[in-house]
Structure 1
Amino acid sequence: MSELRFTEDHEWLRTETDGSVTVGITPFAQDALGDVVYVQLPELQHYDKGAEASTVESVKAASGVYMPLSGEVVAVNAALEANPELVNEAPQGAGWFFRFIPANAGEVGQLLDQDAYDRLIKANAQA
């Protein structure tokens, strides 16, 4: 899945053919959270980079899902409301959280690629 980009907050991003960007949490993040029991999805509105757009709750903890870039949320994964376990089952597939239109599409490419994200996880594990 080399087309994915990642944030240091353990979110993945995939640019879709229509220019929107799909966001979810990485397998590393969902594994750290444990069994997901609730997902609060964002409103369809503009969020600034770094703003908490969504919340995911597990049996272990609650964690924010942050806006990786400034942009307008245009779709949410309503299936997570009834089936939050999709985040555990397919974090980079059916467990996606939301789609947004970035204010500056060029910024997506500035995020971590797979190799850089793998190095981040390795560095965190050694810390």
Structure 2
Amino acid sequence: MTVKYTKDHEWVRVEGDVGTVGVTDFAQSQLGDVVFVELPEAGRKLEQGKEAAVVESVKAASDVYAPVSGTVLEANQALVDDPAMVNSAAETDGWFFKLTLSDLSQLDALMDEAAYKAFVEESH
């Protein structure tokens, strides 16, 4: 299992050719209380760096971008029913969607956990 991070504060946990995607704990702390999520439908093809989902908090609405290209396998229905899980479990149960990766080499351009933590510290 590999976990990679983007500069837009998404994470992808990869097992085989399936990636589980969510927003980082840092991202949810910047958003504030999450009140709504809009998730992609199963079967939708996503392109790396393009909009995949929407998260709305009491402060603002933000796009969630696909960290890698692929086809959506499932969305986290529990998150639709309880959007606050983004705040309480951003990097575990608060995942947004799972997808089949179309190009594993895209992972090489993403950051590992140490690089992501350094990125957050430098940029904030």
TM-score range, shorter chain: over 0.9
Give, in angstroms, the shift of residue 110 of structure 1.
3.2
| CA distance, structure 2, for counterparts of residue 9 and residue 3 of structure 1 | 18
Task: Tell me, yes or no, if structure 1 residue 21 matches structure 2 residue 19.
Answer: yes
The match for 2:10 is 11
Alpha-carbon separation, structure 2, partners of 1:13 and 1:69: 8
CA-CA distance at 1:47 after TM superposition: 1.3
> For 1:77 and 1:121, how far apart are their aligned partners in 2?
26
TM-score (norm 2): 0.93
**Residue identity opposite 1:121 in structure 2:** V
Q: Distance in 2 between matches of 1:34 and 1:64?
A: 15
| SS of equivalent residue, structure 2 residue 13 | strand
Distance, in Å, in 1 between the alignment partners of 2:47 and 2:84 is: 28
Q: 1:43 aligns with which of 36, 41, 55?
A: 41
Deviation at residue 107 of structure 1 after TM alignment: 2.1
* Aligned mates of 1:48, 1:14 — CA distance in 2: 17
- Per-residue deviation at 1:26? 0.2
Match for 1:36: what amino acid? V
Identity %: 45
1:73 aligns with 2:72: yes
Q: Secondary structure at the match of 1:108?
A: helix
SS at match of 2:91: coil
Instruction: Give the total of aligned pairs.
Output: 123
Post-superposition CA distance 1:25-62 (Å, at most 9, x none) = 00000000000000000122111112111000000111
Structure 1: distance between partners of 2:93 and 2:70: 22
The one-letter code matched in structure 1 to 2:52 is A
Q: Which residue of 2 aligns with 1:104?
A: 103
The alignment yields a C-alpha RMSD, in angstroms, of 1.4
Aligned to 1:56: 55
SS in 2 for 1:32: helix
Deviates more, 1:94-103 or 1:107-116: 107-116
Between Structure 1 and Structure 2, the one with more strand by share is 2
The unaligned stretches of length 5 or more in structure 1 are none
Deviations 1:73-118 (A, max 9, x none): 1111000111001111100111000011111123224310011101
Paired residue secondary structure (2:107): helix
